Amino acid sequence: MATSVTNRSDAHILVVGLVAAILAWTSLAAAPTAAADTVSYLQKLHDAGINTPRGNVELEEWGWEVCALFDRGFPADKVVQQAVYNSGSKPQYGMTVKQANLVVDTAVSDLCSQSNHR
């Protein structure tokens, strides 16, 4: 008997798990070719006052998602909207637009394998 996702909470958990699996696979696939500096990336975000409820894990996920989206040809405005805004109309967790853009810029400079993303 198949089980269906019947409420928003279950659907959210399923989507989060799927995104985490994709991001983990993407980061593992990109790791050998990328000149990634996660320590620098995280330090720059913390220095700018950017923190999230899930901490560094979430910030790293955002960074790797930024790289994956650029690698798939997404334009910068769509990258920030999907990776940092979580497909919403504004940045999450009370971040400013400037901070959200900094997440993308810092991911490109410190995590992504190609420096011409932006």
Q: Where are the domains of the chain?
A: 8-110
- Assign 10 a pLDDT band (cuts: 50, 70, 90): low
| CA gap 84, 101 in Å, rounded | 8
| CA gap 72, 61 in Å, rounded | 16
- Decide: pTM greater than 0.95: no
What confidence tens digit (pLDDT) does each residue in 36-61 have? 899 999 999 999 999 999 999 999 99
Task: Tell me the one-letter amino acid at 12.
Answer: H
| CA gap 13, 25 in Å, rounded | 18
